[in-house]
Amino acid sequence: MRFLLMSAVAFAGLSTLAADMTGDADAGKAKATVCGACHGADGNSINSEWPNLAGQHANYTVARLNGYKSGETKDPVMGAQAAGLSKQDIHDLAAYFATLSVKPGEANPEMVDLGAQLYRLGNDETNVASCAACHGPKGRGNPVAMMPAIAGQRFNYTINQLNAFANGTRYGGINNMMHDVAKAMSTEEIEAVASFLEGLH
Ligand code: HEC
Ligand code: HEC
């Protein structure tokens, strides 16, 4: 029994390692040319509606691309982009974007105080959880817990995602956690935290 348990643990460890090692960043770079048209040649998008991919944790990017490919996450643009990607392509692309650095923008000075407060503390009165509790004090996320990096993300993209979590068009992760967070937020809070995140570094 003890032996079985230990080999199960060893096996789980090995398969995690193998999963992490399937992405080849150099191969991903060659495959990323088409993505750069929207997400930027360096993974920093030039349009506020399109997300930066630079510096994102590879396991999260893999999960997102799988979601678009399977249709679990419905998006006409990314559904078409992901449709032709193989499992290997997805891992290579995710490994490549993880090596790039996100370039944050500037927060709107009129919104940044509310955004920063909400990010760090949440809103007790309306039950908005602290974003920092899951995404980390600097918005770098946590790959082990599958928490995405959100620092420096584009303003309109963040607003769109928070609205999609709130109205259920995007699933909010294990136990739909982002649904509960986003649906408790006011429009003003969503804009303020999106602005704070765009400038966070
Ligand atoms: C025509 C523009 C366009 C192209 C080309 C494109 N994307 Fe996207 N991408 C988008 C848009 C728009 C979204 C936001 C979709 C949404 O709201 O879910 C997005 C979202 C994503 C996301 C989710 C990011 C996050 O933070 O969750 C990933 C990952 C992604 N794209 C990867 C890629 C890869 C890899 C390629 C190349 C194979 C690619 N994209 C090509 C426009 C594009
Ligand atoms: C209980 C943990 C938790 C809390 C609290 C939390 N998040 Fe999240 N967040 C997640 C997880 C997990 C995901 C990934 C969901 C998925 O699988 O697509 C996520 C995804 C996101 C995304 C989408 C990122 C992308 O690239 O598409 C944004 C934006 C976001 N969160 C913003 C926030 C903000 C703002 C707050 C605070 C008001 C917050 N989150 C609080 C766990 C959390």
Residue % of the chain over a pLDDT of 90: 88
* C-alpha to C-alpha distance for 148 and 61, rounded to whole angstroms: 9
**Which ligand is closest to the CA of 37, given by its number?**
1
Mutate to test the pocket of ligand 1, among 34, 35, 65 (most ligand atoms within 8 A of CB): 35
Task: List the one residue out of 5, 8, 6 whose CA is nearest residue 16.
Answer: 8
Mean pLDDT of 67-71: 96
The 10s digit of each residue's pLDDT in 109-146 is 999 999 999 999 999 999 999 999 999 999 999 999 99
158 neighbors 169 (Cβ within 8 angstroms):
no
Mutate to test the pocket of ligand 1, among 31, 33, 39 (most ligand atoms within 8 A of CB): 39
Closest C-alpha to ligand 2, atom 29: 158
* C-alpha to C-alpha distance for 146 and 16, rounded to whole angstroms: 13
Angle at 72 between CA 94 and CA 47, to 5 degrees: 55
The 10s digit of each residue's pLDDT in 27-44 is 999 999 999 999 999 999
pLDDT at 17: 44
pLDDT at 22: 83
